[in-house]
Chains A and B, each alone.
Chain A
Amino acid sequence: MMELLMSIVIGVLTACGVLMLLRARTFAVMLGLTMLSYAVNLFIFVSGGLTAGKGAVLGRSDIYSDPLPQALVLTAIVIGFAMTAFLVILAIRARADLGNDHVDGNSGKSQEDSA
C-alpha cells in the first residue's frame, strides 16, 4: 500500500512538473522544475527500499535502514535549492534585459500561451 501511494505521489509530481516545464513563461517553468526536483528527491529517498520501524543510526536497533539514499537526497536537495535560487535571479535578470518573461525572450509574439 505504501509503495503504491509513494509511486502515485512521485508520478503525479513528475507529470505536473513536466507539464509546467513545457510552458512558455519563466515563472511557470521555474515551478515545473521545482516540482520535478521534489519528485526526483522522493524517488532517491525511496531508492533504498521502503521500510518501517528500522533504525536510522547504527547500534540503536538490530535492524537498520539503508543510510546512503538519505545522504544522497540531502545533497540533491541542497544542490537543487541553490540551482533554483540561481534560476529565479536569472529569470528576473532576463525579464529586465529582454522586457518580457517569455523563455525565448520574444516580445508580444505569443501572448495567448501566458501562464
Chain B
Amino acid sequence: MMQHLPILPILVPLLSAALLLLPPFQAKLSRQRWFSGAGLLLLLVISVLGLVESSTGASSFYLLGNWPQPFGIVLVHDRLAAMFVLLAAVLALAAWLFSLGGEDGLGAFYHPLLHFLLMGINGAFLTGDLFNLFVFFEVLLISSYGLLMHGGGKARARAGLHYVLLNLAGSAVFLLALALLYAVLGTLNIADMALRISQLEPSQLLLVKAAAGMLLLVFGLKAAVLPLHFWLPSAYSSAAPAVAAMFAVMTKIGVYCLLRVFGTLFADPGTPLHDFGQQLLWLAGLATLLLAAIGVVAAQSLKKLVAYLVLVSVGSLISVLAIGTVPAIAAVLYYCLHSTLIAAALFLLADVIAQQRGTVADRLVSGRPLQQPLLLGTLFIVAALAVVGMPPLSGFVGKIWLLQAATGTADKVALWSVLLCSSLLVLIALTRAGSTLFWRLNRQQAGAESVGHMQLGAVVGLLLCSPLLVIFGDAVMHFCLATAQQLEMPLVAITAGGNH
C-alpha cells in the first residue's frame, strides 16, 4: 500500500468526486456534506503520511503502469510536492467547513467540483511529465470555472467570462510550447528534457528559448504576475468566499510550476539558458509588489482588498524566486505556506464581516454596528498582523527571511525598499479598513445574524496556522531548506529510476 502513496492524492479526490455525483448523494445535501468531509479527512491523512515519507527519504518516483522512464508518465513525490499537496488538503478542509454554513447549497455541484479541483491541483503538484501537467491544469481549471460561477449572479458571470477566456488562451499557448519542446527534444518527461537541453546544439537553443518564453507566459498568467494579473482581483473578490479561500492556492500553482519546471529544465549551469527569465521575473515581481500594494490602498471593498493582498504575496514570491539561491527558494516556500493560509482566512473573514453589516456588506463605508464586534475585531487584527508581517506571527518570520534572501547590494536596495514600502502601504490600508469596518458606525441597530460555528471554526483554524508556523518554525524552516536543497539537484530524477 505504501508504495502507491504518491498516486493516492490524485485517486482519492477523483473517486470521491465521482461518487458524489451519484443519485444517493445528489438527492440529499447532508449526505454530500458528510461524505465530502470524510473524503477530505482521508486526503489530509494521506498528505501527512506523504509528507512524513518524503521528509525521511530521497525523492521517490511512481511509474504509472510501470512503464520504464522516460517513456511512461512519472509522478515525482519529493518534499516540494508533498508540502504543496498537504497545503491544498488543509485549505480544502477549511473551505468545506466554511461552506457548511449554507453556501454549498447555492448550487448543485459544490462538493464534487471541490474534489475535482483538488484532484487537478494535486496532479499538477505531483506530475513529472509536462503534458500530464497540462492535462491536470485543465482538470483544475474546468473545476475552478464551475466553482467560480457557484451561486450565480452578475459579478460572477462577468469575472467568470474573463477568467475562462484568459485561461483558454493560456492553454493554447501552453500547448504550443509543449509541441515545440517535443519537436526539439523528443521527450515530455521534465527530468529527461533537462538532460537533453544540456546536450543541445546551439542552433536548436533558439527554439527551446521560444518555448521557454511561452511557458513563462503561461505560468505568469497562472501566478498573476504584473502584466497578466488583471483577471485576479475581480475573479477572487466575486467568487463565493469558500471558493475564494480555495483559490488562494491557485496562484501558488504558478509559482510552483516556475520552481519545478524552470528549476529542473535549466538546472544545469552549463547551458546558455541557465538563468532564463530570471531578470524578467525579478522586475515583474517587484512591479507586481508595488502595484498590488497601491491596489490594496485603492480598494473600496474588503474582498477586493484581500484579492490585492494575494497579488502582494505573488509579487514578493516571484521577485525572491528570481534571486534563485537555496536560502531564497527556502524563504519563498515558507512564505508560500504562510501567505496562502492567511489569504484564505482573510477571504472567509471578509465574508463573515460582510454578513453582519447588512446592505453595505463588505464595502469600506460606514455601516451598522456588527453583532459580534469583539470576536470579529480580534480575528481581523490577528489576520492583519499576520499579513502585514508584524511580530509575533508568521508573516514577520516569512518577511524577514525574504529580506535576508537578497544577497547582492543592488538586489538588497531594490527588494528591501519595494517590499518594505509595500508592507507600509498594506499596513495603512488595513488600519483604515479596520477602523472603518469596526468604528465608523451609523445609528442603525446591529443585525441579529451571528457567525455560524462552522464558519468561525474555519476562520480560526486557518488563522491558528500562523502562530503554529512560528511555534514550529524551526522544523518548518529546516523542511523548507531541505526542500530547496533537494530542488538544486533534480537531475537525480532520471538516474534514480522508479521504486514502483
- Measuring CB to CB, which residues of chain A are less than 8 angstroms from any residue of chain B? 21, 26, 29, 33, 36-37, 40-41, 43-44, 47-49, 68-69, 72, 75-76, 79, 82-83, 86-87, 90-91, 93-94, 97-98, 103-105
Contacts and interface: CB of A to CB of B under 8 A. Distances in A.
Interface string B147-171: 0010011100110111011001101
Interface in B243-263: none
Q: Is the interface of A mostly helix, strand, loop or mixed?
A: helix
Q: List the 7 shortest-distance A-B pairs measured between CB atoms, nearest first.
A: A47-B179, A47-B183, A97-B157, A44-B179, A105-B158, A94-B157, A40-B175
Contacts of A40: 172, 175-176, 179
A73 B242 CA distance: 36
Nearest to A75: B135
Contacts of B353: none
B176 A43 contact: yes
B178 interface: yes
Given A75-B135, A86-B142, 14 more contacts: A26-B161, A36-B169, A40-B175, A41-B175, A43-B179, A49-B183, A72-B131, A76-B175, A82-B142, A83-B168, A90-B164, A91-B161, A93-B157, A98-B158
Interface string B173-196: 001101110110000100000000
Contacts of A37: 172
Nearest to A44: B179
B158 A104 contact: yes
Q: Taking each of A26, A49, A86, which has the highest tally of chain B beta carbons within 10 Å of its own beta carbon?
A: A86
B138 interface: yes
A75 B188 CA distance: 14
B138 A83 contact: yes
A93 B182 CA distance: 38
A72 B182 contact: yes
A43 B145 CA distance: 27
Interface of B: 131, 135, 138, 142, 145, 149, 152-154, 157-158, 160-162, 164-165, 168-169, 171-172, 175-176, 178-180, 182-183, 188
Contacts of A105: 154, 157-158, 161
Nearest to B165: A29
Contact of A97 (B131, B135, B153, B171): B153
Contacts of A44: 175, 178-179, 182
Contacts of B162: 103-104
B180 A47 contact: yes
Nearest to A97: B157
A69 B160 contact: no
Contacts of A76: 175
Contacts of A36: 169, 172
A78 to B, nearest CB: 10
Contact of B168 (A87, A93, A103): A87
A87 B176 contact: no
Contacts of B172: 33, 36-37, 40
A69 to B, nearest CB: 7
A47 B180 CA distance: 7
A37 B169 CA distance: 9
A94 B160 contact: yes
B135 A79 contact: yes
A106 B122 CA distance: 37
B459 to A, nearest CB: 30
A87 B183 contact: no
B233 to A, nearest CB: 14
A66 to B, nearest CB: 8
Nearest to A34: B168
B154 A86 contact: no
A86 B152 CA distance: 15
Contacts of B165: 29, 33, 87, 103
Contact of B154 (A29, A68, A97): A97
B2 to A, nearest CB: 31
A105 B160 CA distance: 11
Contact of B138 (A68, A79, A104): A79
Nearest to A10: B176
Contacts of A87: 164-165, 168
B164 A86 contact: yes
A13 B51 CA distance: 46
Contact of A83 (B149, B154, B171, B183): B171
Nearest to B153: A97
A102 to B, nearest CB: 10
A45 B157 CA distance: 35
B179 A83 contact: no
